[in-house]
Amino acid sequence: MRKAGIIAGNALHFGGQAIKDGMTTYELDKIIHDYIVKHGAKPSFLGYGGFPASACISINDQVIHGIPSKKVRIHEGDIVSIDVGAFIDGFHGDTAFTFAVGKISEEAKQLLRVTEESLYKGIEQAVAGNRIGDIGHAVEEHCVSYGYGVVKKYIGHGVGRQLHESPEVPNYGKAGHGPRLVAGMTIAIEPMINAVGEDVRVLPDGWTVLTKSGSISAHFEHTVAVTPDGPVLLTKPTL
C-alpha cells in the first residue's frame, strides 16, 4: 500500500508541476501515465469501468471524472483537479489535488484552501475507535461554515487490493455514527466541495461530473492508513 501510494502521490505531484497555460488535458494525462509506468506500476483508472485515461482531470466547474482530451486546453486562471491511482504488487494508491493555474480569483483561492483544510480535518478523525461519521462530520462542518456545498452523490471509500472497497467514507455525517474504524483499515478520504450548492450533473459522456450551479468545485484526496499510532498518509509525495 505504501509503495502504491508513493507512486500515485509522486505522479500527482509531477503532473501538477507540469501544468501550464495552453496545454491539453490529454498531454497532462500522458505525463502522469508515463510517470506511473516508468516506476513499475499500472494506472489504476485506465480501463476501470471503461474509463479511457490514466488520470481524471477536471477543470473549474467539473467536480470529478473529467476525461482527458486533445480538444480541452488548460488556461491561466483555471483550477484543475487531478485524480490519480497507481497499482503495484497487488495494491492500489488513490489521491487527488486541485491545482491553481497561474493567478486565480480570490474566490477560487479560498475554495481550494478550505477544501484542503477539510481533508486534513477528516484525516485527523481517522483514528482507531472513531467512527466513519466522525470523518464526514469534520469535513462537512468546516466547509458548510463557509457556505459551500458538500457533494453527497460521490464519496470516499476503502482502498486496497481493489480500487474501491468497503467502507463508504462520506464527506458528511453525524459524529459518533457509522462503522467503527479499526487499526489496519486503509481508506480514501476525498472531499468534493462546490462553491455554490451540493447538486451535480453528469455529461452525456457518462463520466464527467459538473456542478449544477455552474460554480467552481475543488477535490482533494489522500489514501490513509488507520494505525494504532494514528492516521498515516500513504499517498504523500516524496519528490
Domain range for residue 105?
2-233
Rg value, the chain, Cα: 16
Determine, yes or no, domain membership for 238: no
Give the per-residue pLDDT at 226. 98
Mean model confidence pLDDT for the chain: 98
Determine, yes or no, domain membership for 86: yes
Does residue 239 register a pLDDT over 90? no
Determine, yes or no, domain membership for 239: no
C-alpha of 191 from chain center: 7
Give the per-residue pLDDT at 72. 98
Going by the DSSP 8-state scheme, the letter that residue 225 receives in this structure is E
Say which CATH number the domain at 93 has: 3.90.230.10
Give the per-residue pLDDT at 212. 98
Core vs surface per residue 158-167: b (16+ CB within 10 A) or e: bbbeebbbeb
C-alpha of 70 from chain center: 23
Residues 96-149: pLDDT tens digits? 999 999 999 999 999 999 999 999 999 999 999 999 999 999 999 999 999 999
- Bridge partner list, 200: 211
pLDDT above 70 coverage of the chain, percent: 100
Residues 17-48: pLDDT tens digits? 999 999 999 999 999 999 999 999 999 999 99
**Rounded mean pLDDT of 161-185?**
98
**Rounded mean pLDDT of 142-161?**
98
Give the per-residue pLDDT at 210. 98
Determine, yes or no, domain membership for 95: yes
Number of domains in the chain: 1
Give the per-residue pLDDT at 5. 98
Determine, yes or no, domain membership for 66: yes
**Rounded mean pLDDT of 174-183?**
98
